[in-house]
């Protein structure tokens, strides 16, 4: 056992070189730097040689208690490994030690075999357990985050339908002799209210909104004017009932490099927020190219405005002054999340009683 310990210690760097060469065949490992690939493996070799020297199960357990396989499992999750690859890299290292012993005519049967396998199997178990638990938590977090995003995005079209039904009720009910029309409008309103309540419940129960990179982008060149024009058309029932005008001031030829779906959500949240705070007035949606090849988009209004003491808080989730209007304070938090996912920047200028201007800049394709 002492001979094996000396052999591993003397050949530590050679083992690591051979092991890295083999591990590079794993898809997730091929592009990692040497320090990242090594991670805790050099320390694991030290643990193995120490276990050989101590030569008892009790001492091995003590060695393992001081090891770092849980941190290794978490690191491999961040490196994008599959769980099979985590197991494979440990087994490749085990094979490298077997080969080294064979080259020096050392028999790895019996106690040495038991000692080495105990170290490796325990390390694999701890690393895989950490990897699996954290991957499951990440999947759950992303599902909850996505559900919150979708639920929140449903609120605007539902509000549009609800307000449109009220307009229909006020316009046609008294003029139509058929009482079935009035009943159908009431049914529509009840179902919209039911759906809105369900959406609100989902949002309240899924409060795991975060701003880290849980958003996968699919960027392409997007014609901005028709995107905004369709949103103005869809949101006009919401704005019109409150005498708020929506104006599309985006140049017709302007193209922005972005994820089209996320861009729509970003603009929808800004416009809906502006409408809510501008019961009577004007909301202008504009955009312009920036000198460095990006595009600046903005939504300005002449509504209520935001007090200076709240400007630093408005992008926090559940921070809102409009709970009595059905707001849950997620719209601007989602907006900020998506801007950061695009590696963009955002600004807000506002004055109480005079209105607000929310803007963001997304980098162009050449800067990627």
Q: pLDDT tens digit string along 35-92?
A: 999 888 888 888 888 888 876 555 555 545 555 787 888 888 888 899 899 999 999 9
Q: For residues 279 and 281, what is the distance between their CA atoms, to the nearest angstrom?
A: 7
Does residue 351 surpass a pLDDT of 60?
yes
Rg (CA), the chain: 30
Q: For residues 116 and 105, what is the distance between their CA atoms, to the nearest angstrom?
A: 17
> What is the CA 61 to chain-centroid distance, rounded?
39
Confidence (pLDDT) at 329 = 43
pLDDT in tens, 122-156: 888 888 888 887 777 677 666 666 666 676 677 76
pLDDT band (50, 70, 90) for residue 324 = very low
Q: For residues 80 and 75, what is the distance between their CA atoms, to the nearest angstrom?
A: 9
- Listed in sequence order, the residues at least 6 apart from 315 whose beta carbon sits closer than 8 Å to its beta carbon are 332, 333, 335, 336
Does residue 7 surpass a pLDDT of 60?
yes
The pTM of this model reads 0.45
What average pLDDT does range 307-311 have in this prediction? Answer: 81
How much of the chain exceeds pLDDT 90, in percent? Answer: 25
Tokens in use for 199? 């959406």
Q: Average model confidence (pLDDT) for the chain?
A: 79
More reliable by pLDDT, 230 or 145:
230
Cβ contact 362:256 at 8 Å = yes
More reliable by pLDDT, 173 or 103:
103
- Cα 143 to Cα 63, 124, 263, 341: the distances in Å are 39, 28, 20, 17
């Amino acid at each position: 056992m002492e001979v094996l310990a000396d052999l591993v210690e003397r050949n530590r760097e050679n083992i690591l070189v051979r092991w890295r060469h083999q591990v590079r065949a794993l898809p997730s490992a091929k592009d990692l730097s040497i320090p990242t690939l090594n991670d805790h493996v050099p320390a694991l070799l030290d643990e193995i040689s120490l276990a050989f020297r101590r030569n008892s199960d009790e001492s091995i357990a003590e060695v393992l208690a001081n090891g770092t396989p849980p941190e290794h499992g978490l690191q491999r999750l961040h490196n994008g490994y599959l769980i099979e690859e985590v197991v494979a890299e440990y087994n490749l290292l085990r094979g490298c030690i077997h080969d080294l012993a064979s080259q020096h005519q050392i028999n790895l049967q019996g106690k040495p075999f038991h000692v080495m396998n105990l170290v490796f199997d325990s390390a694999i178990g701890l690393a895989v357990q950490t990897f699996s638990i954290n991957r499951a938590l990440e999947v759950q977090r992303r599902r909850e985050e996505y559900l919150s995003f979708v639920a929140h995005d449903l609120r605007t079209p539902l509000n549009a339908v609800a307000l449109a039904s009220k307009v229909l009720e006020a316009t046609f009910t008294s003029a139509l002799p058929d009482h079935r029309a009035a009943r159908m409008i009431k049914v529509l309103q009840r179902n919209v209210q039911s759906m809105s309540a369900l959406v609100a419940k989902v949002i309240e129960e899924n409060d795991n909104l975060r701003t880290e990179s849980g958003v996968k982008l699919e960027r392409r060149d997007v014609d901005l004017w028709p995107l905004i024009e369709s949103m103005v058309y869809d949101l006009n029932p919401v704005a019109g009932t409150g005498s708020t005008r929506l104006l599309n001031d985006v140049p017709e030829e302007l193209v922005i490099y972005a994820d089209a779906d996320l861009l729509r959500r970003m603009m929808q949240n800004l416009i809906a927020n502006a409408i809510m705070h501008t019961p009577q007035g004007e909301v202008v949606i504009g955009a312009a190219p920036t000198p460095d090849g990006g595009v600046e988009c903005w939504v300005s209004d002449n509504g209520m405005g935001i007090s200076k003491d709240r400007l630093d808080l408005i992008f926090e989730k559940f921070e809102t002054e409009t709970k009595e209007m059905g707001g849950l304070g997620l719209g601007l938090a989602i907006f900020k999340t998506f801007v950061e996912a695009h590696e963009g920047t955002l600004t807000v200028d506002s004055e109480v009683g005079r209105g607000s201007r929310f803007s963001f800049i997304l980098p162009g394709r050449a800067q990627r």
